[in-house]
Amino acid sequence: MRKLIFILSIFLLAGCNTAEETKLVSGIIIENMDPSINPGDNFFNYINGSWVKDAVIPPDKSSYGIVSIIREQADENVKNIIEESSDGEFEKGSDEQKVGDLYRSYMNLEKRNEIGFAPLQPEFDKIDAISSYKELSVYFAYADKHGYYAPLTLFVDPDFKDPTVYTVYVWQGGLGLPEREYYLKEDERSEEIKLAYIAHIEKMFDLAQLEGGNHAAKAIMELETILAENHLEKEKTRDRVQLYNMLEVSTLQDMMPNFDWNGYLVETGIASQDKLGVMMIDYTTALNDIMTRTDLDIWKNYLKWGVLNACSNRLNEALNEQDFAFYSGELMGTEEQRPLWRRGTAILNQHLGEVVGKVYVK
């Protein structure tokens, strides 16, 4: 029996009053408390001790607590909205039609298994067509824009020094493991994870019928390790003073002469941008040489892996199961997948969350 990992909130709603019941009730669940503990010694265990002792993490989760409970309740409410949309006949282009079609397509495992990885072939063809490092740098923008990981990623946030305006920031990226330390630590467990990651990539290549999975997996791991070595340490990524490097776009080419910044910004749709917040100067500069020292064929396999990795949970069952086995099983200890409908609801919230919200408001 596995025990609680995440914190359980002190307050839970005990229930709602009926029309006849006007007496107020406490929102504190006494049964969750452990009165044997002195609150001055450990207030968390005093409030939550009994719950922590008795709670069991469900097999489809790696942690459990109030956030998980509330999210599950919300998913069940949203499920009703989604199923009404998927079962009904709605005008093409309506919010309900969009919600229903996406949900039905995700839930149709028979069709997904029939189609397999075929929807990715145009993406693979696009990668195979890359013939130069300048084209490679432009593809990085395309990959980032479409949710495939790339060595550089952009995001928009209020300017750190002027919150009245928004700024486009450049951030380090490109890793398939959660963070740089996974690549750099050399303890026994870290080495196990690295080997499992290489085996995972190879298996995914085989399932997608991409050639040379074994060689590609090792080369991808080597490339990602080089990127990780140049990543800024995670504790330093919290220092916004040091990260605030507003650079004129016209100066970026001097920093990365082999990188086609003009093509990159055109592809992202922000060619008129005059400044960028380059948050990791050293990493961004190092990427210029990493890019050209790495053979284009290695980059192509790396980019195909990025596409496959990003899309695997929306393709056939074999790819989805392998993705779960590594990222949820190996890395997080989760024993089984969530029910298909919960995964479908998550896809809807991820891609059509605001549209689902509009249907909810109706």
Structural domain boundaries of the chain?
A: 1-56, 119-330
Instruction: State residue 20's pLDDT score.
Output: 55
Q: Which stretches of the chain score pLDDT less than 70?
A: 1-21
pLDDT computed for residue 178 by the predictor: 95
Q: How far apart are CA 200 and CA 216, in angstroms?
A: 11
pLDDT for position 3 = 41
- This prediction has a pTM of 0.86
Beta bridge mates, 169: 155, 277
In the chain, DSSP finds a helix count (H) and a strand count (E) of: 16, 4
Nearest to 311 by CA among 350, 281, 342, 265: 350
Q: What is the pLDDT of residue 71?
A: 87
- CATH architecture for segment(s) 119-330: Orthogonal Bundle (1.10)
- What contacts 314, CB < 8 A, 6 or more positions away? 106, 112, 320, 347
Q: Could you give the CA distance from residue 330 to residue 333 in angstroms, rounded to a whole number?
A: 6
Half-sphere exposure of 102 (CA within 13 A, CB side): 22
Q: Is 113 helix (H, G, I), strand (E, B) or coil?
A: helix
As a whole number of angstroms, the distance between CA 345 and CA 341 comes to 6
CB atoms within 10 A of CB 334: 20
Residues forming a β-bridge with 170: 154, 278
Q: Which residues have CB under 8 Å from 242's CB, separation 6+?
A: 236
